[in-house]
Structure 1
Amino acid sequence: MFPVGGCKASASQSHHDYPASDIFAAVGCRFVAPVDGRVDEVTRVDSWNPRTNVGRDRGGLSVSVVGVDGVRYYGSHLSQVGTDIKPGLQVRAGQTLGLIGKTGSARFTPSHLHFGISWPTAAGRWWIRRGAVAPQPFLAAWRQGKSTSPARAVARARTSYGVDHGCRAYC
């Protein structure tokens, strides 16, 4: 399902330098689990510093879910993460994970949910978790109520990154 619940939201049709979408919505709108799955990673501390602009810190507060389809769904720039949201927690599609905000590198931009789709990765693999597959076609389908999984697109992207062939740089 569409990852913003209870508010008007507008998803970007592209992203600046990697496959992702910024879903513009008001601060406090709900970031919801797009699928049934389990919470993979939670960041509750905003460590981003504009002077250093370290990639791993750009997301600010964030939550990722590995869906029953094996895909990792990532949302960041949250103002708050649900107090009960922790790694390993089973979640249902539509369940609130956090609230949209302006943390991380979104501090100086309109409030939005940075939404990325990838495969499950080891902790700290920020260059994958931020987005490896363009989510726009899936966001459009979910908004129309269609149940569409990006699992095949994620498998193709994972292979192209070389993950299954001894990749060192991206896996």
Structure 2
Amino acid sequence: CPPGCSACSSAKVCTGCKDGFYIKDKTCTGCPPGCSACSSAKVCTGCKDGFYKTDTTCTGCPPGCSACSSAKVCTGCKDGFYKTDTTCTGCPPGCSACSSAKVCTGCKDGFYKTDTTCTGCPPGCSACSSAKVCTGCKDGFYIKDKTCTGKWLYVSYCLC
């Protein structure tokens, strides 16, 4: 069968289409962007994740929403966002995941967890477990006594 066909009567004639396709002139044509199923280029019958149905089309959810029922109602949030009533709001700086504007449940690289917030690691640290303990260093630094210390290159010049 040709691409997109779930069933066909010949190498060029589709009699059924896979999800995301519709029959047009005996071939299967891809549905419009955002549609998981459609009956034509202008009529979506189902939407992909991150889209919601508006009449006959699928429209992208608002920023931060992984799922929504309308332009104003998020039903799920993307990573780095938390749900507030009907919208998704970005987590505070340094948080990779949070349950509110004041409670981080995970920290981004270069941050460590302090109670309910994420705090930046000391200078030179790429990862740390506290303000005084580096567990990884940025390029050009090395761990010495649990902190990241810069590498110094000594260059001598001769003025001959």
Scaled to the shorter chain, the TM-score interval is under 0.3
Structure exhibiting the larger radius of gyration computed from Cα positions: 2
TM-score (norm 1): 0.19
> Comparing both chains, which one has the higher relative contact order based on Cα–Cα distances under 8 Å and sequence gaps of 6 or more?
1
Q: Name whichever structure is richer in helix by fraction.
A: 1
Q: Name whichever structure is richer in strand by fraction.
A: 2
TM-score (norm 2): 0.20
